[in-house]
Amino acid sequence: MSFEVFPSKTEKAEDSMLKAVHALATLGPSFVSVTYGAGGSTRDRSLATATRIAREVHVPVAAHLTCVGASREQTLAMADKFWDAGITRIVALRGDMPNDAGKLDHPFEAHPQGYSCAAELVAGLLERHPFDVSVSAYPEMHPEAKCADEELAYLKRKLDAGASRAITQFFFSSDAFLRFRDRAAAIGIDKPIVPGILPVHNLARTKAMAAECGATLPDWIVDLFEGLDDHPQARELVSATVNAEFCRRLYAEGVREFHFYTLNKSELAYATCHLLGLRPVRENLLEQAA
């Protein structure tokens, strides 16, 4: 399994995020990924966060890297910084273009001297260094995609460029993922497609995130979590149980890797992993230090 975190804006939030990573690291994840803000807006903080996690938690780290708003030279210079810091895993993404308010509401425009898409970015990164590269996938289609077949062909292009795996956008229908996986196999995609799992921390926030990325939030999930925002302990119990059953369904269909979007919190991802039978394989370094 693997986990995703994002760079924090304050020292207090950074410490909280790091504690979450320490807790999740005891489960022996394949890696912890660190996001890269829209338009490269968290470029320096992403590097600092990824480096700190690698240095202090001693867990493999995968740094997100986008090509939006940057020349090839600038993008590869950032890749060099990650490589020199010992970060040899990259999640290669085209990236989104924010407006002045930070909302992702207008179409991608390639930098005149930049990479035009993630497939080109993957090839460029691997020409530069022998990174382990992951790319994105969308079981319910990217909001900008014209059709499902075209998007699937583009996923194959990214993987054929040298990526090792695809990590999906979060979704709430196991059938949607399984259909997507079967269609991918039918066109010759034989590299792992890792499902991205988003535990429901807050219903309103989950609704907003699903609407932004085009993920379908089923009515039964809305009904299940309705009214629980004021009961956080009950919500966490329900969320962990729902997520574990969701992952068990995928496991029964042959899925063996899961990527958890943690929102910088450890409890729900950890509880889900525990319900799936995972147990700590190493001690918490924070506890050792204490």
Catalytically active residues, by annotation: 4
The whole-angstrom separation of Cα 161 and Cα 172 is 29
| Sequence-ordered alpha helix ranges (H) in 38-193 | 43-57, 72-84, 118-128, 148-160, 174-186
> Beta partners for 259?
2, 196
Q: Residue 290: exposed, middle, or buried by beta-carbon count in 10 A (0-12, 13-18, 19+)?
A: exposed
184 phi/psi in degrees, rounded to 5: -65, -45
Amino acid at position 266, single letter: S
Strands 132-137 and 193-197: unpaired
| Cβ count near 1 (within 10 Å) | 21
Q: State the angle between helix axes of 232-252 and 267-275 in degrees (0 to 180), rounded to the nearest 10.
A: 50
The whole-angstrom separation of Cα 148 and Cα 138 is 9
238 alpha carbon, distance to own chain's centre: 23
| Sequence-ordered alpha helix ranges (H) in 226-276 | 232-252, 267-275
Look up residue 54 and give its two tokens.
């690698």
Smallest CA-to-CA distance from 106 within 179, 208, 38 is with 38
Residue whose structure tokens are 């807050």? 202
